[in-house]
Each structure stands twice: as structure tokens, then as C-alpha cells.
Structure 1
Amino acid sequence: MPMIAGTLAGTNAESRPPHRRTWPALIPALALIGLALVGPLLAGHPLDAPVTAPYAGAGDGGPLGGDQLGRDVLSRLLHGGTVLIAGAALVSVLVTLAGVVVGCFAVLHPALGRAVERGADIAILLPPVLGIMLIAMAWPGGGRWAVIGAAIALGAPYAIRIVAAAAAPLANAGYVEAALARGESLRYIAVREILPNLRATIAALFGLRFVEAVYVISMAAFLQIGPRPPAADWALMIRENAPGILLNPWAVLAPSLAIAALAISVNLACASLAPRSVPKAVTTS
């Protein structure tokens, strides 16, 4: 018994991420998200008011210069992250939730598993850009909600396949077979027996879905599917100011770096939250 208790204690200690390793990875993401959320309050100029000459250089009326209409690049940059982060967070939460719910039940219900696998295979074959354009055109009024809906529809099949693949070995584990023998419901087994062992997969999946949502929403904005001028959107800023990149590079570089920093920092934060190791089998010998 002391050996088993010691083994369990060691396993729990290993699976808990150390705080001094976790917090440094969380700080950049939290700082960037916090800055994006309070950015509109920190902007020194109105969102759509010209304050400089078109494509004015950095320091000429603004720390990052002006855009194609003479609007302050820094002010628009501070305004442009809130909606992008909110949209990407909504997409990643819903896609991850769909993947967890459907993926866990699919491995416990063979008929559902086969239907999910075939449906996911068909959905994965659809090119993302074509899927976004089709959904955006079919969506009443189009706009940002059409892009969010397209990102959810295109991301869910990948998430379901990943969770189902990770849960498949667990469905044949001894403790799951014991729960089935006790007559437990599939919902109980999915929530209490399988889901706790997928923490690392879910954390990594959420980070990847957030990064993909940022890129999908940004790509749609760059293609002028979603937000419309004069909205302050980082991807829209890149498209609008690309012709004047040689006159004021910051009008393009600043939103590009903001998108990259957001995607990388959130992905690293989610990776740091995942358990460092999986539970090990306990033996009495």
C-alpha cells in the first residue's frame, strides 16, 4: 500500500504543471489580450479621424504614422484587436466543445462513430477559402458573423476527428469496460471516465483552433469577406495599406506583427496548461 500511494503521489505531482513554468508562458498571451480589450480606451485619436498626411511616416503626427487616409495607425491598431480576439475565442470554444462532445460519444457508439468519420472526411475535403466564400455568400447579410459561422463549420470536423482518435484507445480501457459492466450510461462514461484523460489533447486542440480561427478571420478580412471599411480590423488594415508599404511600413507591419504575436502567445499558453505527463499504470509488484 505505501508503494502504491507513493506511486500515485508521484504521478499526480508529475501531471501538475509547475507554476514557475506555466506563468511565464501565460503572461504574453494575457498581456496582449488585455491590451487588445482596453485598447480603445488607450487610443489617442478617434477611430476614423484623419490626423496626418496619407501614409505619413512614424513620428509625423503619430508614433506609427498614418494610413492611406491619414488616420493614426496606432489608434486603429488599438481598436482593431477586440473584435478579432472575441471572434477567435468564440470559434475556438464552440469548435473544441463540439469536438469533445461528438468525439467522446462517437467512440462509445459505433454507428455514430462511422457517421462522424464519413462526415468529417467529406467536410475536410472542402478547401477552406471556398468554404468561407460559400457560407459567407449564403449567410443573410454576410459580414463578420458569416465568417465566424464558416470558421466553426470548417473547424469542427478536424476537432471531432482529433478527439475521437485520442479517445479511441481509452474506450477499450479496463475502467471503461468496468463502467459498462456496472450499467453506467454513455454520458457518465464520456464525462467521468474518458474526458478527464483528454486534458492535454483538449488544451492543445483549443490552442490550435484559436490560432486557426485568427488566421481564418484575418484571411477573410483580407479578402474583404467580413468586416467592411472603415472598421478597424488588423487584417483589413493590412489590405488597405499594402499599396503604401514603402511610404509607411508600420501601417502594414504593425497589424501583421499583432496577428502573429496573438496566435503564437495563445498557442504557447495553451501548451503550457496541458499536463506534462499522462497517468502511469500502477503495479503492486
Structure 2
Amino acid sequence: MTAVPPAAPPRPSRPARTLTLLALSALPLLLALAGPLLAPHSLDTPVTAPYAAPGDGALLGGDQLGRDVLSRVLHGGTLLILGALLVSVVTTTTAALLGCIAVLRPALGRLLERTADVAILLPPLLGIMLIALAWPDGGRWAVIAAAITLGIPYAVRIVAAAASTLAHAGYVEAALARGESTAYVALREILPNLRATVLTLFGLRFVEAVYVISMAGFLQIGPQPPASDWSLMVRENAPGILLNPWAVLAPSLAIALLAITVSLVTHSLSPDTTTKAATRA
């Protein structure tokens, strides 16, 4: 008698997976936003020897100046998350408006497409450096401005591609026949049907902004000492990684955990086709 293989355990439902991923993504967000209240030591006061190993006085050891690594990690994510949120909100909002209007105004659509083609040819790192050099202080605001400037053309192309399937829908043509304005049709008839696309775009732009801001910090563009910032911590403590690896690993893992969990939530909440299209762009 042929043995019947055991049935595979049922996979968690999509809502259950989504709730799990939301909980995981909330951890780094809460850690970064509420971290300053949980820090056991002062941000700038040395509590141990430089690059000291983890011990009783410092759970993750000391950094290059003997400051508590854990306390600086708990402080270091606030500005990164707020900056990434600002970039994703501005980029997604602008792209949603321009993308919906572009499908109704072909001339504007062609102009935006040519702008996106130019932006694609410009390496992101070079664009960040050029904008940072042109900015008055070359600090964090320059990086945020660069991320927004470089991200909008890609985002507009994604929204326009999704909106083009709706531009000739019956309810859109009826609204245009009634004499409704382009802005009205874009905001009231097309945009509400692109919620999945906009949600996916927001999540992906947030993850991209995290990487862009962090990469700029590694290149000494953005916050400068003695600021507490995850990317700045990695750069400052790299020379002592063999003495206290946690001074580099802790902020690096925080950046990776934040980006990965938000990316997983975005993929879970959005339809596969929309996510794939946004990822390709």
C-alpha cells in the first residue's frame, strides 16, 4: 500500500502575513522615534574606553570616543526616518498629481517622459553630489532635496503608466464630455482608482530614501559630527570594527531592518503586478 505523504501545513492567510509584517516594520520605527526616551546614557558623554567591548556600563560597548553605542543607536534613527518620510510624501504626492494629469494632456506627458529619460541617465550618486555641492550648507536638506529631485521623474512614469489604462474608461470620458476640468478628472476620477499603485510607490520611495540618505552619510554628505546618525556611526566607527564590531553592526542592522521590513509590508499590501511594475521602474 502506497504511503500518502503528509499534507503540507496551511500557509498563513494574506491578512495574517500582512499584520505580522506590519508588526515587524513597527519595531524599527518605534525604536527610532521613541529611542531617545529609552537611551540609558547621555548622547555625548563618554562612559567607557574608546572601542570598548560590551560590558556592564555599555550594553553594546563604546564608540571611537567611548560613548555608549546603544544610546547613540537609539538616538540615531529619528532624523533618518523623518527625512525618508518627507521624501516619500513629497515624491509620491507630486508624482500622483502629475502622472494623472499627464495621461490627459499628451504634451505634458511627453515632456515628463523626456525628463524621466534624462534622470535615468544620471547616476543617483552623481546627482546627490551635484545637488549637495550647489546647496548653501551641503547638509541633510541637500540630500533630501536630491532624493526628491531624482525620485520624482521615476515616480511620475510609474503613475502615468498605471493611469494610462484608465484614461479611456467610460466614466473618465463621460466626465470630460461634461466639460469637467483636467484637474477634476485627474483627482476625482483617476487618482482614487490608483490607491494600490500609490501605496506601492510610497513604500518603495521610502525604502529608496532610506538608502539614499544613508549612502550620502557614508560619503560625508549630510549630518556631521557630533550628530548621532546611523550612517554617521558606521563611518566614524569603521576604523575600530575589530575592537568593537557592534559600533558598526548595530547601526548597519538598524538601517537594513528598517528598509527590509517596510519593503516587505509594501509588497504584501499591494497587488503583484503593481509592485513588479514599480520595482522595475
Q: Using the aligned pairs only, state the percent identity.
A: 72
Q: TM (normalized to structure 2)?
A: 0.89
Supply the distance in 1 between the matched residues of 2:120 and 2:194 (Cα, whole angstroms). Answer: 23
1:254 pairs with one of 240, 250, 257: 250
Give 1:91 shift: 0.3
Q: Which moved more, 1:123-132 or 1:77-86?
A: 123-132
- Kindly tell me the number of residue pairs found equivalent between the two proteins: 262
Q: Which one scores higher on RCO, CA 8 angstroms, separation ≥ 6? A: 1
Measured after TM superposition, the shift of residue 270 of structure 1 is 2.9
Q: 3-state SS of the aligned residue for 2:54?
A: coil
Paired position in structure 2 for 1:192: 188
Say if 2:104 is the partner of 1:108. yes
Q: 1:274 aligns with which of 270, 277, 280?
A: 270
Matching residue of 1:3: none
8 Å contact from structure 2 (residues 95, 156) kept in 1: yes
Structure 1 residue 271, shift from structure 2 partner: 3.1
Mapped partners of 1:233, 1:267: distance in 2: 21
Deviations 1:166-189 (A, max 9, x none): 111111222212222222221221
Separation in structure 1 between the aligned mates of residue 273 and residue 116 of structure 2, nearest angstrom: 29
- 2:261 pairs with 261, 265, 271, which one? 265
C-alpha deviations, 1:176-212, integer Å up to 9, x for none? 1222222222122111221122111111111110011
Aligned equivalent of 1:224: 220
CA–CA distance in structure 1, aligned partners of residues 222 and 240 of structure 2: 23
Match of 2:118 in 1: 122
For 1:35 and 1:215, how far apart are their aligned partners in 2? 18
Residue 73 of structure 1 corresponds to 69
Give the deviation of 1:20 after TM superposition: 3.6
Map residues 91-170 of structure 1 onto 2, 5 A cutoff: 91-170=87-166
User: Which letter does structure 2 place at the counterpart of 1:176?
Assistant: V
- Matched residue type, 1:78: L
The one-letter amino acid of 1:83's match is L
Is the contact between residue 199 and residue 275 of structure 1 (CA under 8 Å) also seen in structure 2? no
Contact 2:84 2:206 in 1 (8 A): yes
- Map Cα deviations across residues 10-48 of structure 1 (whole Å, 9 max, x no partner): xxxxxxx97544322211222321221111111111111
CA contact (8 A) 1:203 1:271 kept: no
* Distance change (3 Å), C-alpha of 1:276 and 1:153: closer
Pairwise CA distance, 1:232 = 0.7
How many angstroms apart in 2 are the aligned matches of 1:36 and 1:253? 16
> Aligned pair 1:243/2:209, yes or no?
no
Cα distance in 2 between the residues matched to 1:167 and 1:86: 29
Q: Distance in 2 between matches of 1:94 and 1:21?
A: 29
Larger mean CA deviation between 248-257 and 27-36 belongs to 27-36
Residue 54 of structure 1 aligns to which amino acid in structure 2?
P
CA distance in 1, matches of 2:272, 2:209: 26
Task: State the distance in 1 between where 2:14 and 2:258 align.
Answer: 24
Aligned equivalent of 1:204: 200
| Counterpart among 38, 42, 58 of residue 38 in structure 2 | 42
Aligned to 1:10: none
Q: CA RMSD in A?
A: 1.8
- Give the Å deviation of 1:276: 8.1
CA contact (8 A) 1:55 1:68 kept: yes
Residues 62 and 74, structure 1, Cα contact 8 Å, conserved in 2: yes
2:279 aligns with: none
Letter in 2 for 1:71: R
Equivalent position of 1:53 in the other structure? 49
State the one-letter code of the partner of 2:30: G
Q: Where do 1:83-98 residues align within 5 Å?
A: 83-98=79-94
Q: Which amino acid aligns with 2:52?
A: A
Match for 1:167: what amino acid? A
